Amino acid sequence: MLLVLSDEHKEHLGFLPEVESVVVGEFGRIAVEFLRRGTNPKIYEGAARKLNVDAETVQHGVEGLMYLLTESSKLMISEVDFQDSVLVLGFEEELNQLLLELYLEHRKEVRSILTELTPSLPHYHNLEWRLDVQVASRSLRQQVKPTVSMKLHLENRGVKSAKVLQTDPATLMHLIQELEKALAELKTTHCRRILRNIK
Amino acid sequence: MELSESVQNGLQSLADPVIFDLKTFSVLIDVAFRSLLSAHADSSVLDQTEFKRVDQTLLKHCHTAATTFILEGVKQNADKSTISSCLEDVRFDAERTELFYATYQKYKSDVETLLSSIGRCPPHINDLSWRLEYRIKNGHVHKVNEPSYLISLNVEKASNGGSLEDVNFSCTMEQLQDLVGKMKDAAKSLEKATQL
């Protein structure tokens, strides 16, 4: 699968061959940093002064790289497809190689950043448990009632929450059985066929 | 067992053969247990033909005394000798004491279950359901291609009148293995604890 670059995008990236490869490397570093933490316009101005160009040109260059990185990471295109995709920009081989390295080095991280944007439910983080025996209460003395108290830690978009729940021994066994069935389902031929064929 | 004066008076009336003959006495004791166990007990529990000739105020007083005595006895897991000596103090004869104790034994475990369900406790997991899905792509990332589980714990909240609620969360296969592993640890400890 090839990346389709718009004319506007090509034009923005067109600034890159005009500067030294060290500068392109620096732009790449800034692009990744901005993807991690958001943009900072002051950086554009500083770089523009040093290079003696418009701040806008620098901004377009860096944003062009950010877009190139996010699109190719999103589609998870192969090394060869990436090289073929940037070929249309008509850059020197060295610059193409630099872009490829930038892509391959940061693909995993960019994908994990993009994953944060996807809609998600709270997900499992940890489970703490404790075994209790209730021996008395206001309404009934001399009891022997085993309970399993559990603290379920969930996480949603970096926000952690915890729920305190409890259950009785028989239900605990039932819960384990059900969840083991869920795990076993993944190993059935039906699931394996789907996992194998959707790539 | 410590009983208030009002309860003692009520029980004394119950012991009086002039007010309650043996048949009426046994019906009242049975009604007292059943009214505790029935979820929607109302004043109609005392609408028995046997009670027609008893003064209604006195009847209610005796019913309250009997239920209080039952609750106190079950709460403290009172044995036969404790119950007997208490009833002797309020002038029960041997026959009525024996009859009360027989009924007490019959209903005791049910009343215990009822009493043990009273009180605060964290939401209780009753069951769960799960769904397995294979994540393919979304608007931001393609080729995600990973299995994911959606787990829904069915939880009952005692503090909220037994209302049901679900706790939903998703997890990967590894996370589910971790969850099951921890639950199994708990089950193993439980097993060891019962062998002590």
pLDDT at res. B166: 92
Q: What is the pLDDT of residues B65-108, one digit of tens each?
A: 999 999 999 999 999 999 999 999 999 999 999 999 999 999 99
At B160, the pLDDT band (50, 70, 90 cuts) reads low
Residues B161-188: tens digit of each pLDDT: 678 889 999 999 999 999 999 999 999 9
Name the 3-class secondary structure at A100.
Answer: helix
pLDDT at B81: 95
Could you tell me the pTM of the whole model? 0.77
Closest residue to A183, CB basis, from B145, B167, B177: B177
pLDDT averaged over every residue in chain A: 92
Q: Is the pLDDT of residue B41 over 70?
A: no
Residue range A17-39, pLDDT digits in tens: 888 888 899 999 999 999 999 98
Q: Which domain holds residue A138?
A: 120-167
Looking at CA atoms only, how far is residue A21 from chain B in angstroms? 30
Strand bridging mode B163-171 / B146-157 = antiparallel
Alpha carbon distances (Å) from A162 to A119, A125, A128:
20, 9, 10
Minimal-distance CA residue of chain B relative to A161: B169
Q: Which ipTM score applies to this complex?
A: 0.78
Pairs of CB atoms within 8 A across A/B: 169
What is the residue whose two structure tokens read 């999103």? A74
Q: Does A164 touch chain B (CB under 8 A)?
A: yes
Q: Residue B40: pLDDT above 80? A: no
Looking at the fold, whether A163 and A182 belong to one and the same domain comes out as no
Spatial separation of the C-alpha atoms in residues B3 and B89, rounded to whole Å? 11
pLDDT tens-digit map of A49-73: 888 888 899 999 999 999 999 999 9
Same domain, B57 and B100: yes
Flag whether pLDDT at A176 surpasses 90.
yes
In one-letter notation, the amino acid at residue A60 is H
Same domain, A156 and A133: yes
Closest CA of chain B from A163, distance in Å: 9
Q: How many domains does chain B have?
A: 2
The count of structural domains within chain A is: 3
Neighbours of A144 (CB within 10 A): 8
Cβ of A122 within 8 Å of Cβ of B170? The answer is: yes
Position B159 pLDDT exceeds 80: no
Interchain CB distance below 8 Å, A138 and B116: no
pLDDT recorded at residue B152: 96
pLDDT, position A104: 95
Domain of B112? 5-116
What pLDDT digit, counting tens, does each position of A112-145 carry? Answer: 999 888 888 899 999 999 999 989 999 999 888 8
Contact residues, chain B, for A128 at CB < 8 Å = 182
CA distance B172 to B175: 5
Contact A176 B183 (CB under 8 A): yes
**8 Å CB contact of B175 and A171:** no
Mean pLDDT of B133-155: 93
Residue B182: list chain A partners with CB under 8 A: 127-129
Q: Which A-chain residues 22-41 have CB contacts (< 8 A) with chain B?
A: none
Tokens of A184: 């076993």
A76 CB near a chain B CB, below 8 Å? yes
DSSP A161: E
B67 plus B144 within the same structural domain? no
- Min Cα distance B114 → chain A (Å) is 9
Based on the domain organization, do A70 and A135 belong to the same domain?
A: no
Report helix angle B5-15 to B56-75, nearest 10: 110
Query: Which of B180, B124, B170, B152 is closest to A127 using CA atoms?
Result: B180
Cβ separation of A140 and B112 shorter than 8 Å?
A: yes
Quick one: which of A13, A26, A23, A22 has its CA closest to A91? Answer: A13
CATH code of residue B186: 3.10.450
- Share above pLDDT 90 across residues of chain A, in percent, rounded to a whole number: 66
